Structures are given as C-alpha cells and as structure tokens.
Structure 1
Amino acid sequence: MTQAGARMVLVSAIASGQGKTTVTAALARRCLDMGQRVRVFKVGPDFIDPMLLERASGAPVHTLDLWMVGLESCRRQLAAAAVDADVVLIEGVMGLYDGQPSAADLARSFDIPVLAVIDAGAMAQTAGAVVLGLRDYGPVRLAGVVANRVGSERHAQMVRDSLRGVPLLATLPKQAQKMPERHLGLVTPGEVEHIDTLLDTLADQLQLDDAAWDALAPQLPEQALPQEPAAPLLAGKTVAIARDAAFCFLYAANLDTLREMGARLVFFSPLLDEPVPGEADIVWLPGGYPELHGATLAGAGSWRESIRTAHAAGKPILAECGGMMAVAGSITDQDGRTWPMAGLLPGDVTMQKRLGALGAQGLATSHGLLRGHTFHYSRLDTPLTPSARTVKHPSGAEGEAVYRAGSLTATYFHAFFQSNPVAACDLLMGEAR
C-alpha cells in the first residue's frame, strides 16, 4: 500500500530570535515521543541549527534552499521524506519573508503550510495582528500558531482569542534554561550539558492542541525530475576531513556528494593532535570554531607538522573559513590573545566584534556557478593577491577572496558541493578556474 504522505509544516516567524529552533526541536522530540517517524530540514545556509535539530529528531538534517540547493533537489528531498516519515518539519530562516529567496518562497513552491512562531513574552492581543500580517502579506497557507514564552493559561487564551480563527496549535512557557549563544549563533549541542534532558523538557512543556495537529492533512509532494548521477571524478581518491569541535561546519550533502563521486572519506581531529592520515590524497579543513581552541591547536604539534608535510608534498588542501584560519600564520582571539597556527597561508587572522560577512555567494567556474555562502566575524590580513573572488547573491557585488598558496586553496566561502559537483571537485583538487 502506498503511503499517503506525511504531515508537513514550515516553522517560521516574524524575525530571528522568536524561538523557531526551540519550537522545531521541541515539536520534533514530541512527535518522536508519540511514536512518529520524524524528518527535519533547515531552510537556508546554516551549520549549527541542524546539529541541534538532528539531536532532537534522531535523523540527519539536510538543507533546503531554492537558490543554493535548487528547486528540483529540494523537491526530491521533500518527496523522499514524505514517504519515509510521518512528520516533516522545516525550520525557516530569519523572518518568513526575509531573503531572496525567502522561507515563504519555499513554502509556496511546495504548498507547505506555515506554522508561525510568536514570541508572546511581551504581547497578548497584538499577536493576532502579527499572525494575520504574516499570513496575508505573501500570502502563505497558515497551519497555525505556536505562542512561545507564554506566562499563564490566561495569557494563552488572550493570544488565542486574538487570532480570528487561526488555530493556536501549541504554546511553550518561558524557559528557565535556554540554549546558550555566541557570535555565530547557538552553541553546538555537544557543548550543552544534559542536552537531551533539555530537549525532553521542551517536548514535555509543549502544550500541543492534538485536534488541531491531527487536522493537518498529510502531503506527498510531486516527484521531482530524476537526479543525474555524479561523475566518478574522485574514484580511488581518499579525502581526509578534519572533524571535531573546531572543524564542525559540514553539510551532510557535501559528504554525500563526495561519496557519490567515488571518494573514500576518512576523518581526523586536529584538536586531539591527530595527524593528517597518511593515505590521504586530498585534505579538507572545513569551517568551525578554531578561535575558541587557539591554545589547543597551537600546541598540537603532530597535527601542525602533518599538514605542513602534506602541503610540502603537494597534496591538494582545501581550507574553508575556520579551516583557513587554522592554516594562517596566527589567530588573535576575542580576548586579544594571539596563537600560532600552521603557517601555510601567509598572513594573520583577527577576531572582531562586528560581522565580517554574511550571505549567499557563488564562485564562477568554467563548469558553471558553484553556490554557497559566507558567515564570519574575523578578518584575514595577507599579502597574497586573490586568485579569484566569489559573487554575492543577488546583488552581483564582489564577494570573498579565494587564495592559492602552493597546493593550498583557502577562502571564507563555504561551497555547497551538490550545487555543482564538477566545480566542487576542481575546488578540492586546487584546479578551480
């Protein structure tokens, strides 16, 4: 018997900071507790929120973005999830209508109802005006409302009465403990003590209107065009990937793309002073938080010597954002302390209080545009002249620099490999052009 589909909602809000991630995590854990199979997606470029949502749902969290990921790839992922799961939750990005494309654009593209999260901590009846504005501005199909930071049942009733027939699908009380944040967003789940207890508490505190939830009809998005298999450009190659608390910004789709191109993946931890695996043909240092681990990385002699040896041997090395910071001459952290790094890239990195760059960008190559994004609070001062620059989306303005130093390719740009596997392979191999 063919499954009729899954209950699908896009969780969004009027702005960042309303509690989208908290509500999505609580709802995912609540559905799991009810014995339902749950899949969660995240709209837009993001590494950190998916880590928490993966912990809450027990399944990998992939990215949906009409520009970076593409319409048909998003369709394929949603159609597959609707067959495999009972519930599909999609956390939006920023406010519902922010960005080009926005979370609302994604919802309308696949006729997915929106679940509006309202921070009701400092409002009551005005919630109705906010919700009706979110619904009608686009418009979007509205599944209901989750009122976050509700103070009492009377407070919840005032919000409910203001909604003019829109279901108050759930409420969540003010939290004694909230997920801590830092300059790039939430801290990673591994850094939060008793994270599963916190998620269980959120699920228990989510007051769900079961009748309104059950009234949401399952959906089965139409099948997408078949995906062309990636060319086996990395067949027989071993890609060594740094992965630990300092190098944790990895799209699951990027790893999938490398495997689809035939690569064998091995992982190592610079923080544990693990050297680059000797069998590596290519080394990838992804983004993360090296600035939080300056002392450890500075003291990791085996790791530093091994990456220098790989560079001297001409092995292709891709150093992406935090990875680039770790192969520069030094990092000066938020407290003004300077830590020596691997020194493959001439220049030094300094953390700063103001945002360095944020947004979607693409790298033009002979194989077409390789899409991705940037997000950092540091700056690199280097004498090198960039070998290329990305282009900001949608403005077309000049974006991040791409540097070459021997076999090293280094940039703040986070490439989404699936958007152009051939160009991603060239970037990894140091042959991007």
Structure 2
Amino acid sequence: MEPLLFPGNPSFWYETLRSFGHIAYGGADFGEVVTTCERIIPGDYDSWHDAWLATADSVAGKGRAALEGGHRVSARDAFLRASNYYRSAEFFLHGDPADPRIRHAYDASVACFREAAALFTPAVEPVEIPYEGTVLPGYLYRADDSGTARPTVVMFNGFDGTVEEMHFFGAAAAAERGHTVLAFDGPGQPGTRHRQGLGFRPDWEKVVGPVIDHAVTRPEVDPSRVALLGASMGGLLAPRAAAFDDRVAALVCLDGVYDLGDIATAGIPLPRAEAERRLRADHDPELDAMLAEAMAGSPMLRWAVEHGMFALNVTTPRAFGAAYLDYHLRDGVAEKISCPTLVCAGADDGFFRGQPEQLYEHLTCPRTLLGFTAGQGADAHCQSGAQRLAFARVYDWLDDALTRRAPALRAAP
C-alpha cells in the first residue's frame, strides 16, 4: 500500500497505518488520526509525541465526561481510542529511557484501557500471572458470564506493542467469536519493561509455560483447546514456545519469523559468520561507527535500534545486534512444533519480509502459509490496515484447527 501520509518516512507512515487499522475494533477514528497527523512535522519525534498526546488527552476527557453523564458506551469507545493514542504518543521516545514523557503516556494508555475494559459486557478482567517471583500483566476476555469452558487463545504482542493493543490485534476478534482470551505482556514488553525493568529473553517457552499454567486454572478455559497467537516478533516467540509445550493445540504466527539474526546482520557488508563474530566482540569501534552511520541515514533503523536497546535492556547498538542473534528457530527448533500452525505473510512487510516463508519451510507439523496482498489492502506488517479481513481468515482457520479439521496447505491470497 502506498503511503497516504508521511511519504518518504516509512516509520511514521506504518505507525499511522497501524492506528488506521485499529479503527476496525474501536482503537481509532479516521478523522482523529488524520487531523493529528496534520500537526506532526515529518521525522520529528517530539512533534509526533506532542500531537498524539494532545489528541489522547482530548479524547480521554470526552470519555470521562461521557462516563459522568451515564453514557457508558460512549465512554468505553472514547477510552479505547485514547488508550491507543497514548500508546502512539510515546512510541518513538525510547532512545532516552529516562524521558518522563514515556511513563506518563504509557500509564495513561493503561489507565484508559482499564476504564474501557470495565465497561464491556462481560467486563474484560485485568489479571496478574505469576512468573519467576513477580507477575506478568494481562487481561482475560470471556464470551459470556456462564463460566463455560471454551476454546482459548493465549496471545501476546511483539517487539514494541502493548498487551492493551492486543485488543485490536486479535483479542476482540476472538472474543466476539465465542473464544476465551488470555492476553499478556511478557519480559521486554511494555508492562514488564516499564514497571519491573525486565528485558526480552529468547527462551519464550519459559514465559508461556507459566501463562498456560495460569490459564488452565480458569473455568472459562478448555485445557484441551488452548491456541497460541503471537503478533510481530511474537511470530517467532510463539513458535519457540509451542516447540517445547505440547499443551498448545494450535499456533498462529502473525506474521511468521524464523531468524532475527538475519535482521541483525543484514546491513553489515560481511559474511554472516564474520558479522556475528564482530557483533559479539568485546570491542569493535569500526563496527560501532558503521552502525551509527547507518542509523543516522535511516529513520526506520534508528527507531528499531533505539527501541531494541530499551526492550532488550542493553546499552549500545552493537550489543542489541548481538542479543538479537539469539532469537531464532534454527537448530531443529521449528521442526519440534507438532500442533497445526498458521503462518501469516504480508507481501510488503517492511520488517520481516521473507521470514514467514523461511519458517513455513522448516515446519514438519500440519501447516498453512496464509498470504496477504496489496490488492486486499493487507500487505503490510501484521496486516495493519486490514484487521477485519485478516482476523476473519485467521480465526476461520483456527476454528477448524481446534476441531481437528485444519488442512495442511499453502493458502492462496
């Protein structure tokens, strides 16, 4: 899809498209997004923050006024949009983790989402999942108040998204189809990174295991029909977990990722083995300078490295690249997955192009590669901008998989 706004700045355009996509499940309104973007100076992170914060404050204020007036649906809708706008406001600020604007906007995003969550019927329940001496924040969605055990989707976001954003990236769509949903933030994701200082870890089965342990204690969860869905970088973390946990009855990779080492070494003009060696070296000022120059010349790379340093809890661009090398499904990991697996692939994914196909080729389980195209308006990363289309296809597949009717095929776009 050609940029409608911010031509020449793929980072700003994709984040705008992300909010356009969230319109489908109540996370934005078209006019609010457009008028906000009109106030932004392209490429200026401070301008981006200020414009989105102003919109978020305005919409949150409307939500509070509606709630005080007894207008619960209007309040819920406003709080949902404000939550997403606050999330967007702090998105590009992680180059300075001490910037107080980050926590202000993040905390406001969570607060607004929880205001909205309480106004759904049934209410979306905030949960705390025990994990290695602390807790993972999350939300439980019920299809109704009967307490009936139902097919369940355990889901999480990726490199930069929040558990609150998963409402728009799969939770609402699953709940309206009658599934129970347990969404959570793992280590390195915003809920734990901001509040407990936890960075990402590659052995994600150690994260998902405690989450499924918690899920199967809930009466709304059918333990024999627990699916796992990971969005963005979650498209690598979810299959990693499924490879080592046979309680996962079906797996959705939105989109699929096989080896982040490919991403870490792609811009280094050296054979991969040499690039890896130099990324892991104790001291390499020449490579440090090369990375700094590349970041200065690419807004997308600058954001990815700055956020990656924040999310993985490292202090230099080279240390981020070195840490990223550990995130992969090589060495037979993908081949360990036994449950039916859906691998989604956007034809113009600006982050992980080619990765879904790599993952698909290494799977030995019942597998489906589901392509999305520009003609569908769904070719972007995680099908942003086409959520209704994408989740219709994803959950139709999942419904079949959880009744053991999933075909093993390469799906036409």
Is the TM-score greater than 0.5? no
Query: TM bucket by the smaller chain?
Result: 0.3 to 0.5
TM-score of the superposed pair, with normalisation by structure 1: 0.36
Per the normalisation by structure 2, the TM-score is 0.37
Larger Rg: 1
Bigger share in helix:
2
